[in-house]
Amino acid sequence: MISNLIPKGLYTFHRGIAVEARGPFLKTQEGETLLDLTSGLGVLPLGHGDPRIWEAISHQAQRLVHQCSHVILHRPYLELCGRISRAVPMEKGAKVFLCNSGAEAVEWAIRVARAATGRPAVVGFHGGYHGRTHLTSTLTGRAKPYRKGGQPLAQDVHHIPFPYCYRCPWGRSPEGCAQICREGLERFFLVERPPEEVAAVVVEPIQGEGGVVVPPSGFIPWLGQVCRENGILLIVDEVQTGLGRTGPLFAIEGEGVEPDIMILGKALGGGIPLAAVVGRGEVMDSVPPSGFGSTFGGNPLGCAAGCRLLEILEGGMVPDAPKRIEGLISKRTEIWRAKVEWLGDVRGRGAMWGLELVEDREKKTASPSLARRLVQKCREKGVMVISGGLYRNVVRLLPPLSMSQEEMGLALDKIEEALGEIP
Ligand SMILES: Cc1ncc(COP(=O)(O)O)c(C=O)c1O
């Protein structure tokens, strides 16, 4: 019995046991073949079992499986750091520290920001998601299930509203808004902590777990400007949006903002646990010698896979593949929006989309139960999706960037059938 082995707290969206997978198709022990529109939760841009990644891992496995970066550095570690440093939209000379998971990288980024500024406070956003460790669940902007029961939470971590335009926290419509969401940070400085006590603002360019919330254009550049004017570091969490998920290699590209620190994870190791903190040289160097460390961080297999992945993404896959998927999804969801009364909003970029489900379009009453039913119905049709969102009413689509037009069309046909059978 699974429940005798696995704690209740590990919630699994889908029943069954995965046994093998290729491309977007995943087989279960129970004999199903499912179209995996989660990409292992945003981890596999090339889908499952890409032979080029497999080859990079097996080639490396025959040479060096593990070495701790404290003991001696290895070639794939340095090669990946070099590739990342050249790829990020930051001034030349960005330095990179490799670790194991997105949450760990967020922890490190905050450690770096506090060391670099000598300031204590950190600001995140309502609905933001940054992981489940003590500090990152504190930074995550949703009480249940992330923060509840974790008290005492980490100190000096604060939240301000995110520009969730479909449910504007200030009750404005996009037409009459004038970006009132800027008030969130301004009020925070006025009421909670003055800017000179704030080390960093941590932001996702598009909130993922929070419900695929895309901020209005102009918001991120403004945030960058306020940070710069006040000596606050801008930490951009690209764990989910990075590496081509939203179109460009990094979602922050094109915003005209240079982050002080970027956080990468998920796709970075080609399926092997790997994450990175990337920062301006002098910012990263504010952590004293021996301050950084991680026994497994920057594992040779993950680094080799990451190098190969970046080569493929930069070698022409990005931004074409995610843009192609964006075209297919946005065209189809436009039809759904016109037909399905309970589809309140559709948002996304590239291969990262959210369908926000409501009981009533006018009142926008969030419906987590419709989201659960749609996830279930899609599964019955052979498509694996998950839900999320601040109100748990957003069905999320995170297909591999490598999905062909036919595979994507098939997946969308199945979701359409599922939509037609509810309620
Ligand atoms: C934006 C963001 N940051 C951090 C994390 C945490 O990453 P991990 O689960 O690898 O710790 C996630 C995971 O979903 C994420 O989406």
- pLDDT reported for residue 99: 98
Alpha-carbon torsion (214, 217, 221, 222), positive or negative: negative
- pLDDT reported for residue 240: 98
Q: Same structural domain for residues 370 and 305?
A: no
Q: Read off the DSSP letter of residue 366.
A: B
Q: Same structural domain for residues 21 and 106?
A: no
Domain boundary among 285, 317, 349: 317
Asked if residue 245 has its Cβ within 6 Å of ligand 1, the reply is no
Q: Of ligand 1's atoms, which has the minimum distance to the CA of residue 273?
A: 10
CA 387 and chain centroid, separation: 14
Q: Same structural domain for residues 246 and 383?
A: no
The residue segments making up the domain with residue 20 are: 2-49+319-420
Q: Same structural domain for residues 207 and 328?
A: no
Q: What is the pLDDT of residues 301-355, one digit of tens each?
A: 999 999 999 999 999 999 999 999 999 999 999 999 999 999 999 999 999 999 9
Q: What is the Cα–Cα distance from 101 to 107, expressed in whole angstroms?
A: 10
Q: What is the Cα–Cα distance from 305 to 310, expressed in whole angstroms?
A: 9
Q: What is the Cα–Cα distance from 12 to 5, expressed in whole angstroms?
A: 14
Write the DSSP assignment of 203-251 as a string of letters.
E-SSBSTTT-BPPPTTHHHHHHHHHHHTT-EEEEE-TTTTTTTTSSSST
Please give the distance, rounded to the nearest whole angstrom, from the Cα atom of residue 265 to the centre of ligand 1.
Answer: 7
Cβ within 8 Å of residue 219, ≥6 positions away: 163, 179, 181, 182
Farthest-apart Cα atoms in the chain, separation: 61
- pLDDT reported for residue 177: 83
* Cβ-contact 173, 164 below 8 angstroms: no
- The secondary structure element, H or E, covering residue 394 is strand 394-397
Q: Same structural domain for residues 45 and 10?
A: yes
- pLDDT reported for residue 256: 92
Please give the distance, rounded to the nearest whole angstrom, from the Cα atom of residue 142 to the centre of ligand 1.
Answer: 14
Residue 343 maps to a domain = yes
- pLDDT reported for residue 2: 83
Residue 58 maps to a domain = no
Residue 186 maps to a domain = yes
Backbone angle region of 150, left / alpha / beta, with phi > 0 → left and psi within -120 to 50 → alpha = alpha
Q: Same structural domain for residues 296 and 368?
A: no
Asked if residue 103 has its Cβ within 6 Å of ligand 1, the reply is yes
Q: Same structural domain for residues 277 and 365?
A: no
* Cβ-contact 165, 245 below 8 angstroms: no
Please give the distance, rounded to the nearest whole angstrom, from the Cα atom of residue 103 to the centre of ligand 1.
Answer: 6
Positions in the chain whose pLDDT score sits under 50: none
Domain boundary among 276, 297, 317: 317
Please give the distance, rounded to the nearest whole angstrom, from the Cα atom of residue 202 to the centre of ligand 1.
Answer: 13
Residue 57 maps to a domain = no
Q: What is the Cα–Cα distance from 368 to 355, expressed in whole angstroms?
A: 12
Strand 275-279 relative to strand 343-349: parallel, antiparallel, unpaired? unpaired
Q: What is the Cα–Cα distance from 98 to 302, expressed in whole angstroms?
A: 10
| Residue ID of nearest Cα to ligand 1 atom 3 | 130
Return phi, psi of residue 80, to 5°: -70, -45
Asked if residue 388 has its Cβ within 6 Å of ligand 1, the reply is no
Q: Of ligand 1's atoms, which has the minimum distance to the CA of residue 241?
A: 1
Q: Same structural domain for residues 328 and 215?
A: no
Q: Same structural domain for residues 140 and 268?
A: yes
Q: Ligand 1: which of 213, 266, 272, 386 to mutate, judged by most atoms within 8 Å of the beta carbon?
A: 266
Residue 56 maps to a domain = no
Q: Is 170 helix (H, G, I), strand (E, B) or coil?
A: coil
Q: Same structural domain for residues 233 and 110?
A: yes
Q: What is the Cα–Cα distance from 257 to 196, expressed in whole angstroms?
A: 21
Residue 398 maps to a domain = yes
**Domain of 349: which CATH number?**
3.90.1150.10
> Domain tally for the chain?
2
Q: Ligand 1: which of 130, 212, 214 to mutate, judged by most atoms within 8 Å of the beta carbon?
A: 130
Task: Write down the pTM of the prediction.
Answer: 0.98
Q: Ligand 1: which of 100, 108, 129 to mutate, judged by most atoms within 8 Å of the beta carbon?
A: 129
Q: Same structural domain for residues 264 and 373?
A: no
* Cβ-contact 163, 86 below 8 angstroms: no
Name the amino acid, one letter, at 242: G
Write the DSSP assignment of 287-344 as a string of letters.
SPTTS---SSTT-HHHHHHHHHHHHHIIIIITTHHHHHHHHHHHHHHHHHHHH-TTEE
Q: Of ligand 1's atoms, which has the minimum distance to the CA of residue 209?
A: 16
Q: Same structural domain for residues 170 and 117?
A: yes
Q: What is the dihedral of CA 192, 168, 388, 221, to 10 degrees?
A: -70
